[in-house]
């Protein structure tokens, strides 16, 4: 399904998926793409969707909603937090850690399937963190497609993840 698409086609599909992540409990986009199992994750103001088909998994992280104080606080909490050999934006890291256990559980339940991760804005920063955590846990995503992603970490953090992930910018 997604594995047959070109990068430009995937960019359009994942833009729609990243946009749909802003809607509570609506799995229409995923069902239309052939994803039969879906779950809406909402922990302490951090949200994401996970969806699975026969061969693929999608993780879509929700971005900043200007009417949600939790999101605004996450965006503003720029105090650096140590992560591996680098430093990351504490607010983005905190939000990602709220959903990571559910995402990892979903990956374990769907072991062997291709994983795709996406997000917009705050959701894009969370998606990068989630991608790294999935890789560390032995579930390396096939693709991360982010939109309007703010800077998550410093140069040391980027260098560390660049050695383990294929990174390309469209």
75-113 pLDDT, tens digit per residue, is 888 888 888 888 888 888 999 999 999 999 999 999 999
Q: Which of the pair, 84 or 53, is modelled with greater confidence?
A: 53
Q: Check: CB of residue 145 under 8 Å from CB of residue 116.
A: yes
- pLDDT value at 7 more than 80: yes
By C-alpha distance, which of 151, 86, 143 is closest to 121?
151
Instruction: Give me the residues paired with residue 38 across strands.
Output: 51
For residue 154, name the pLDDT band (cuts at 50, 70, 90): confident
Domains and CATH numbers, the chain: 2-162 (3.40.50.1820)
d(CA 121, CA 55): 28
Q: Which helix (H) or strand (E) covers residue 90, if one does?
A: helix 90-109
| Average pLDDT over the chain, rounded to an integer | 90
Count other Cβ atoms within 10 Å, centred on residue 164.
Answer: 11
pLDDT value of residue 39: 95
pLDDT value of residue 107: 97
């Amino acid at each position: 399904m997604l594995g047959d698409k070109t990068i430009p086609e995937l960019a359009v599909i994942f833009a729609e998926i990243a946009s749909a992540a802003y809607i509570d409990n609506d799995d229409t986009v995923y069902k239309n793409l052939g994803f039969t199992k879906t779950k809406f994750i909402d922990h302490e103001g951090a949200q994401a969707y996970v969806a699975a088909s026969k061969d693929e998994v999608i993780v879509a992280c929700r971005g900043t909603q200007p009417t949600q104080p939790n999101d605004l606080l996450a965006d503003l909490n720029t105090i650096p937090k140590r992560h591996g050999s680098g430093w990351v934006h504490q607010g983005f890291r905190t939000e990602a850690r709220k959903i990571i256990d559910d995402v990892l559980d979903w990956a374990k339940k769907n072991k062997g399937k291709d994983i795709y991760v996406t997000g917009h804005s705050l959701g894009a920063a969370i998606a990068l963190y989630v991608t790294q955590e999935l890789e560390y846990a032995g579930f390396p995503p096939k693709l991360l497609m982010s939109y309007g992603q703010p800077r998550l970490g410093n140069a040391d953090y980027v260098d560390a993840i660049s050695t383990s992930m294929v990174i390309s910018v469209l």
